[in-house]
Structure 1
Amino acid sequence: MNSMWTRRSFLSLSAATVVAASLPAEAAPKDNFVYMGCTAHGPGDGIHVARWHAETGTLSDLRVAFAAASPGFLAISKRPGPRFLFSGHQTAPKVGGLSSFRIEASGDLHPLNTITAPNADFVHLALDHTERCLIAPNYGSGTVLSCKVGSDGRLSDFVSKIQLTGHGPIASRQTAPHAHGVAISPDNRFVLINDLGTDRIMIYKLNAATAELTPNDPPYFTAAPGSGPRHLTFHPNGRWAYSINELDSTITQMHWSAKTGALTAVSSVPTLPPGGDVVNNRAGEVVIDASGRLLYGCNRGAVEELLTFAIGSEGRLTLLGRTPLDGKEARHFTLSPDEKYLLVAKQFSDQVSIFARDRKTGTLTQTSARYSVPGASCVLFG
């Protein structure tokens, strides 16, 4: 147990929310539960869980699975056998905790262990493709941390601790590095970190056996000045990558070199219409469907909406539609396993809502399924 938590406080925190530790983890049904992170601080806040009903696109039995302060982002293993959930949260003022849990057959979470780091906010998380390495960028401190994941789901001490440096041209947002997103390359050889503060996408070589990160050559991709790269995703073909840029409200298409790890810009499209309020807007998440034909993004602030783009034969994006969010701050969203629905965490609306999706056209339609989650900031199937 990490020294930041006493044994008594850890057990008291988890006992009320973990009720099925004796059930065999191997029996956990796949993708039958949805887990939701939040950025709230208060009684009843923490990692939420609900049962997913694929036939109706609804949730039931919504509850707190683990009480914690600001468990903003989650990562979940997908391998057969025992399944694990990982979450960053605040264990003390100016101290971040990264915790691992075993997912029980009931959907409850059995705590395994916690490691801590000063000033860490764990704004994003990603497992590598072996699910033996966990990578954690930190926005406030501008750091990147990595650790190993044991076969039992427990986390090692941090292996790599990287401090980013530099700044960008926007004084209100870019006076220091802000590691905001992490993506793992399709071949599992590289880790990419979107640094909103320096307009760079950092590129590191990954040693999957040790979880060690080392600088690549080239060490980063240089984005447009003042663009603020936020999150990145790879196309299913493994040749293209897309970065959504928070500060200039654009999405950049890049070619990916599996040989060298380098990114090369191809094109960029705006997320706002001509004359849109770029200064007060913040582009957010980016997700591609399994077919590789459709990409989803979002705007926050100046306008609250979800965006649907077609991906052309050369990877270029064409806007298909804008869907009103009917809420505030789509901080994160994810497609359901059958891709018939898009689940959206509306942070400032304290809500997770569900949009029906036409898998052929990509069209999104708001449903009546809306669920209260304070400061909802992440939603994942587990």
Structure 2
Amino acid sequence: MKKYLGITAALIFNQAASADEARLLNQQPVVAEQTFLVGSWTGEAQGPRVQKAFYPSQGIYTVKLSADGSMMPIAVTPAQSPSWLTVDAAHQRVYIVSEVDEGKVSAYHLERNGELTLLNTVDSSGMHPTHSALSRDGRYLLVANYSATDGRSGVSAIPVQSNGHLGKTQQFFPYNQGSNKVAGRQSSGHAHSVTFSIDGHYLLAADLGADKIHVYQYDPKRKDPFTLLADDTINFPAGDGPRHSTFSADGKFLYVTTEMSAQVKVFSFTQGKTELLQAEKLTDSTKDNDKSGAGLALSPDGDFLYVGNRGDKNQIVTFKVDKATGKLSQSKAYSAGGIEPRDFSFDASGRYLFVANVYSNNVVEFARDLKTGELSPTGVTLQIGTPTHIRFVTLGK
């Protein structure tokens, strides 16, 4: 771990650079001081929408959120494309996937000052891992490997040892067959995310290439703890591309984003079985370039659902949640303040939302109205090369 030296000022332009920004900052909610981590793609990103980073990312960034809403990087951990971060329940271990050809997964100890100490690194058993999740008992890290070259797309179940270190892959579920609906996207399977049910008994793995979510039962007493429940597979219309999912706090409802069709779908969930309740568009546009569903998150109070739509729209779309039925209403779209809003996260109070815009190299802060769910840009922005994921952590005393 190394701390910022002379590049700190260049990486941040949120420190009251103008009178207008200072005025906006003074109007923001006051919250408890917090810390969050930012994952990233390292190196130079390519593509027509990519803005050249002033400083390409070096790895994982530790950022302090002050009571007034200002942000300051306090440390950086060098790592190769740590695109997704998973934190254990005690906030002592951080597990990162390196989204590279020969996928890697690393375990870190989270120090009291926000620095990260490497414990060990293991093979993800696949290519370009994009997502991970810990079992509720903390015994297994599940990893979604995206790329299907040489049969290496699929889900890996990696044991977590008592000291936080990772073991070798215990189970691997290959995703080779795609739906072939969207050319160049679905010629094979593509594992994109893994999500545990609230009770911890079920694992849901989104296969963007096959238009399916595979459901597994988890029983830690078995030699092979994850068992595919083929009859409970969630099938999506060809070309939807299921990407990410999240559960309501009571575990009764499942929310899923679809990447190519740019929708959010609501399902009931009971002991691994689902029923479609609702499908909502993220945009009314019929242009393919306007449709690219991304991450999603429920507000801490569960009253609103926030969903990213990338492409040419680059928006965060909000929905009001009926907690009794799980259904969504009152949608409204907000500019993400950058290009390619891949992921976002709330602070502990729910008064702030932070968006990682990959191609514009910025983490943008929004103030959130707790009653209406509305978002307002604060003018506070952190410059980090190709940020991909944001995860709040609690530091030890």
Per the normalisation by structure 1, the TM-score is 0.86
**1:189-219 CA deviation, whole Å, 9 max, x = no partner?**
1110111101100111123467832211425
Please point out which of 177, 189, 192 is paired with 2:189: 177
Match of 1:293 among 303, 317, 321: 303
Structure 1 Cα separation of the partners of residues 309 and 371 of structure 2? 23
For 2:3 and 2:119, the matched residues in 1 are separated by 14
Q: Percent identity?
A: 25
After TM superposition, give the deviation of residue 279 of structure 1 in Å: 5.0
Match of 1:9 in 2: none
1:236-258 deviation digits (Å, cap 9, x = unpaired) = 12111011101111111101012
Q: Where does residue 21 of structure 2 map in the other structure?
A: none
Unaligned runs of 5+ in 1: 1-13, 19-29
For residues 80-100 of structure 1, give each alpha carbon's deviation from its aligned partner in whole angstroms, at most 9, with x where no partner exists: xx611110116xx73121000
Provide the rounded CA distance (Å) in 1 between the counterparts of 2:98 and 2:197.
26
- SS for the counterpart of 2:129 is coil
> 1:116-147 deviations in whole A, cap 9, x for unaligned?
14542220111122222211001113210111
Which residue of structure 2 aligns with residue 369 of structure 1?
380
Map 1:1-382 onto structure 2 (within 5 A): 16=2, 32-41=34-43, 45-53=58-66, 55-64=67-76, 66-79=77-90, 83-89=92-98, 94-117=101-124, 119-141=126-148, 142-168=153-179, 169-208=181-220, 212-258=225-271, 261-273=272-284, 275-312=285-322, 313-382=324-393
Aligned-partner SS, 2:240: coil
Contact 2:337 2:364 (C-alpha < 8 Å) held by counterparts: no
Query: What is the alpha-carbon distance in structure 1 between the residues aligned to residue 118 and residue 315 of structure 2?
Result: 36
Paired AA for residue 193 in structure 1: A
CA deviations on 1:219-238 (whole Å, 9 max, x unpaired) are: 51101221100001101121
* Structure 1 residues 347 and 204, CA gap change in structure 2 (3 angstroms): same
| Larger RCO, structure (CA 8 Å, separation 6 or more) | 2
Task: Say whether the 8 Å CA contact 2:214–2:230 is kept in structure 1.
Answer: no
Counterpart CA distance in 1 for 2:328 and 2:334 is: 17
Query: In structure 2, do the counterparts of structure 1 residues 211 and 32 end up closer, same or farther at CA, with 3 Å as the change threshold?
Result: farther
| Count of aligned residue pairs for this structure pair | 348
The separation in 1 between residues aligned to 2:232 and 2:108, in whole angstroms, is 34
Helix, strand or coil at the partner of 1:218: helix
State the AA in 1 paired with 2:265: T
Tell me: CA distance 1:171–1:352, structure 2 relative to 1, closer, same or farther (3 Å): same
- Distance of aligned partners of 1:49 and 1:216 in 2 relative to their CA distance in 1, 3 Å threshold: same
How many Å separate the matches in 1 of 2:253 and 2:103? 34
Q: Which AA in structure 2 matches 1:45?
A: Q
Distance (Å, rounded) in 2 between the aligned partners of 1:307 and 1:295: 8
Cα deviation for residue 311 of structure 1 reads 1.2
Structure 1 residues 176 and 151: CA distance shift in structure 2, 3 A: same
Q: Do the aligned partners of 1:17 and 1:109 also contact (CA within 8 Å) in 2? A: no
Distance in 1 (CA, whole Å) between partners of 2:250 and 2:57 is: 42
Q: Secondary structure at the match of 2:105?
A: strand
Asked if the contact 1:254/1:266 (under 8 Å) is kept, the reply is yes
Q: Match of 2:20?
A: none
Residues 159 and 212, structure 1, Cα contact 8 Å, conserved in 2 = no
Q: Which whole-Å deviations, capped at 9, do the CAs of 1:295-332 have from their partners, x for residues lacking one?
A: 00021113111111011242221133211112101100
| Structure 2 Cα separation of the partners of residues 204 and 102 of structure 1 | 29
Quote the Cα distance in structure 1 between the aligned partners of 2:214 and 2:356: 27
Task: Give the conservation status (yes or no) of the 8 Å contact 1:39–1:71.
Answer: yes
Structural RMSD (CA) = 2.1
